[in-house]
Structures are given as C-alpha cells and as structure tokens.
C-alpha cells in the first residue's frame, strides 16, 4: 500500500502527509471531490497532449543519413610532399583491410596534380623515375620528352597545349591484394659483400618495398595513399591502394638508344627516330669513367647474379681485406638489380638497381643504372647488337 501511496502522490504532482488514515486515503482515491475530478481531467488531457506530441516528434524526427563511401582521389598527394620515414614489415599481421571504391567516371581526362602527371607519362613509357607526387628535375625532363615527341613547345611545364594531349585513360589508382607468396619472399639483406654472397637470393626486405616496386613508386607515396595501413604488421589478403601503371605494349624492337650524360637520361627510338621510351639513369661518379661515342648491346641477362671483384672497389676496406672474388646471388636487391644488359666495352652495362629512388645521380663506377622496372622494359625493346650512343 505504501508504494501505491507514493506512486499516487507523484502522479498527482502533490506531496502530502503519509500519516493520513487509510479511510481518508481510500475515500480520496476512489471518490474524489468535484474539484479533484476537474483536476484529474485536466491532468489526463495534459498527459494525452504530451503523448500525442511525443508520437508526432518520433514519427517526424530526422532520419540518420547514410552517406556514400568516400571516393579515393589523388588531389592531396602533391600537397603532402613531405617524406615519411620508411617502414619495415614482418609476417605477423592484422585483419585485412577492405578494398576501397575507385572512381571510374570521366575518363579520359587531363591529369590533376603532379602525381597524375607523373603517372600519365609513365603509362606512355616516359618515366619520371619513382612516382612520388613531387615536382622535380626528373618530372620536368619527362615532360620535355613528351612535348618533343608530340611536337609541342618544349617547356617542361604542364601548359595548356601539353595538358590537352597528356590524358589519363583510366583511373590513376587501383587496389592490390598482398599475397602469401609476397610475404614469403621477404628476407633481410646482408650488410656486407661476404654476407650477401652467402644468401640464396637478395629479395625484398619489407612488404612496403615490394609493393612500391610493383607500383613503380617511392615508398613514401605508397604510405601516403594508405595512411591507415600498418606496414610492420601485415597478413595475406590485405588490400592496399597503389598507382595503376600500365606500360604500353611492346610491338617491336627499337632501332637504337641514346644516353645523354648531362641530363642523365636514356632514350629509346624506332627506325623513324620516334621516341619509344625515356628513362632517368645514373652515370659514373667520375668523368674519366664515363664512356662516350657508339657502343653496342653485347649480352642481355634477366635475373642475373653479380661477381664482386675487389679490384673494382679500391675505396672499400672490406674489399681490401677479402682480396678475392665473390658471387652475389640474384634478386631485386642484387647490385645490378633484375636485369643486366652488357655493352661491348668490357665491364660496362645498363642494369637495374636495389635503390630506384636514387636513380638520376652521378654515383656509379661507370655503368648506367635504371630502376628495375625501367631496365626490364628496356630489355624488351633492346637486342644484341643494337647501337647505344653515349653523348655529353
């Protein structure tokens, strides 16, 4: 009864003494006075209004808006040009990330930003080096090569006439799914020549390095495209966003190649002197080591090993201590990368490199270094006996 009393008190909005006898309470609850009946009717009406108002609000309340998934774009890449530190990768992992929707409308279209300019050039076989979304001398040289090929004013800038001819036919990015095979390839690379010679293969050290090379990109660009990915904690099935680079198909062999020492570029031409490909390349650190004139392709070896000869490294304390030749196994981290194209000058060749981001410098012992993907593409165009002209 007490609980009923307190409930009645609170429902009527009154607080009255609990010492009233039960007869009085019974009378007041069962037989209210006319005034009390009017009060009760007012309360019932008020309660009905409140219930009706609540119902109307509930039925007409704003519904949760389901927004479409955000589209992946590339406009922010040029603005985020600062380099992030490289990450390493292990084999233990997290749950795979879902694939991101890729915008597929409005193609072909002009490139938007430096990254898309680099990508559009690379798709034509005109390489700006590792895709990084940063404007620099290699991108400028690639633009000049495109302008020269298209018979445009050679400015090295994305002017209106160039933008009207340099088009993206398909979306600039795509999803790549990391495989178990990718992860099993990862292994540390020896720190010196002797350690490297004892390995069975010089493969990729990290999954970030592997994915970046597949996408012909700087590792920092891959990280910027995938800000939520933990590259140190990866499992098979993880989906990552990468640039969509598709080389033009090779329809025949080139007629000749030209290496320009001043610009540090290698260009490939057909028999009508039409430009087929353009690559940045590294040259010898010392001028006396740089060959000149007409050379010829003497041999082509995919996936080569490397013979370490201490006589070629007089500056190396390890070489002086070893005083013997070593055979270094193949792999993308081999000193000559994934392809060796030997020239008819002993000891000289065109080859890949384990450090594609550094291509375009004067730092070799005499050979011409290309990024592995560019060396592989060049090997499809070249042939034994093909002239290679080295110019100042």
Q: What percent of the chain has pLDDT over 70?
A: 73
List own/partner pairs for 245-250 with CB under 8 A and 24 or more apart: 245/119, 245/122, 245/123, 245/131, 245/215, 245/216, 246/123, 246/170, 247/122, 247/123, 247/125, 247/377, 248/123, 248/124, 248/125, 250/377, 250/380, 250/381
385 inside domain: yes
pLDDT in tens, 330-374: 999 999 999 999 999 999 999 999 999 999 999 998 899 999 999
Per-residue pLDDT band at 55 (split at 50, 70, 90) = low
Residue in 177, 142, 140 with CA at minimum distance from that of residue 157: 140
pLDDT in tens, 249-290: 999 999 999 999 999 999 999 999 999 999 999 999 999 999
Q: Is residue 125 a contact partner of residue 247, using CB atoms and an 8 Å limit?
A: yes
Spatial distance between the Cα atoms of 183 and 388, rounded to a whole number of angstroms: 39
Q: Is 160 helix (H, G, I), strand (E, B) or coil?
A: helix
Q: Are residues 181 and 294 in the same domain?
A: no
Spatial distance between the Cα atoms of 341 and 304, rounded to a whole number of angstroms: 10
Spatial distance between the Cα atoms of 90 and 7, rounded to a whole number of angstroms: 66
Judged by average pLDDT, the poorest of 10-19, 205-214, 232-241 is: 10-19
192 inside domain: yes
The answer, yes or no, to whether residue 73 has pLDDT greater than 60, is no
Q: Are residues 326 and 285 in the same domain?
A: yes
124 inside domain: yes
CA–CA distances in Å: residue 320 to residues 100, 313, 314, 324, 364:
53, 8, 7, 9, 19
Q: Are residues 263 and 238 in the same domain?
A: no
Q: Are residues 238 and 120 in the same domain?
A: yes
Instruction: Identify the CATH number of the domain in which residue 143 sits.
Output: 3.10.350.10
Domain boundary among 243, 278, 304: 243
State the residue range of the domain holding 29: 2-60
83 inside domain: no
Instruction: Identify the CATH number of the domain in which residue 300 sits.
Output: 2.40.440.10
pLDDT of residue 48: 57
pLDDT in tens, 190-228: 999 999 999 999 999 999 999 999 999 999 999 999 999
106: which residues sit within 8 A by CB, 6+ positions away? Answer: none
Q: Are residues 285 and 224 in the same domain?
A: no
Domain boundary among 243, 274, 299: 243
Q: Are residues 262 and 361 in the same domain?
A: yes
The answer, yes or no, to whether residue 33 has pLDDT greater than 50, is no
Mean per-residue pLDDT of the chain: 82
Q: Are residues 154 and 211 in the same domain?
A: yes
Q: How many domains does the chain have?
A: 3
Q: Is residue 202 a contact partner of residue 329, using CB atoms and an 8 Å limit?
A: yes
pLDDT in tens, 292-314: 999 999 999 999 999 999 988 88
Spatial distance between the Cα atoms of 384 and 363, rounded to a whole number of angstroms: 27
Q: Are residues 170 and 139 in the same domain?
A: yes
**Strand pairing category for 306-308 and 326-328:** antiparallel
271 inside domain: yes
């Amino acid at each position: 009864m007490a609980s009923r009393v307190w409930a009645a008190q609170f429902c009527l909005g009154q607080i009255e003494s609990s010492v009233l006898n039960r007869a009085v309470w019974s009378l007041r609850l069962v037989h209210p006075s006319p005034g009390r009946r009017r009060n009760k009717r007012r309360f019932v009406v008020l309660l009905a209004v409140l219930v009706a108002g609540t119902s109307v609000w509930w039925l007409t309340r704003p519904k949760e808006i389901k927004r479409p998934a955000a589209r992946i774009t590339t406009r922010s890449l040029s603005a985020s040009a600062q380099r992030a530190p490289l990450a390493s990768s292990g084999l233990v992992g997290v749950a795979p990330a879902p694939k991101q929707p890729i915008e597929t409308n409005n193609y072909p279209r002009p490139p938007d930003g430096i990254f898309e300019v680099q990508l559009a050039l690379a798709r034509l076989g005109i390489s700006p080096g590792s895709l990084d979304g940063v404007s620099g001398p290699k991108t400028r040289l690639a633009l000049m090569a495109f302008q020269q090929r298209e018979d445009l004013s050679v400015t090295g800038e994305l002017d209106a006439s160039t933008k009207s001819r340099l088009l993206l036919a398909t979306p600039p990015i795509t999803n790549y799914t990391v495989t178990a095979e990718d992860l099993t390839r990862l292994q540390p690379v020896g720190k010196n020549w002797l350690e490297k010679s004892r390995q069975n293969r010089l493969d990729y050290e990290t999954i970030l390095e592997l994915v970046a090379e597949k996408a012909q990109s700087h590792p920092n660009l891959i990280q910027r495209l995938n800000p939520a990915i933990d590259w140190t904690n990866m499992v098979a099935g993880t989906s990552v966003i990468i640039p969509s680079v598709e080389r033009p198909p090779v329809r025949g062999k080139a007629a000749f190649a030209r290496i320009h020492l001043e610009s540090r570029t290698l260009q490939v031409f057909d028999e009508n002197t039409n430009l087929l490909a353009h690559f940045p390349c590294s040259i010898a650190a010392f001028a006396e080591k740089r060959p000149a004139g007409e050379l010829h392709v003497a041999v082509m070896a995919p996936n080569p090993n490397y013979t370490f000869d201490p006589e070629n490294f007089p500056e190396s304390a390890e070489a002086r201590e070893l005083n013997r030749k070593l055979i270094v196994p193949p792999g993308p981290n081999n000193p000559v990368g994934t392809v060796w194209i030997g020239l008819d000058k002993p000891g000289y060749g065109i080859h890949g490199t384990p450090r594609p981001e550094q291509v375009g410098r004067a730092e070799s012992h005499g050979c011409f270094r290309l990024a592995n993907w560019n060396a592989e593409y060049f090997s499809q165009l070249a042939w034994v006996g093909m002239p290679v002209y080295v110019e100042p």
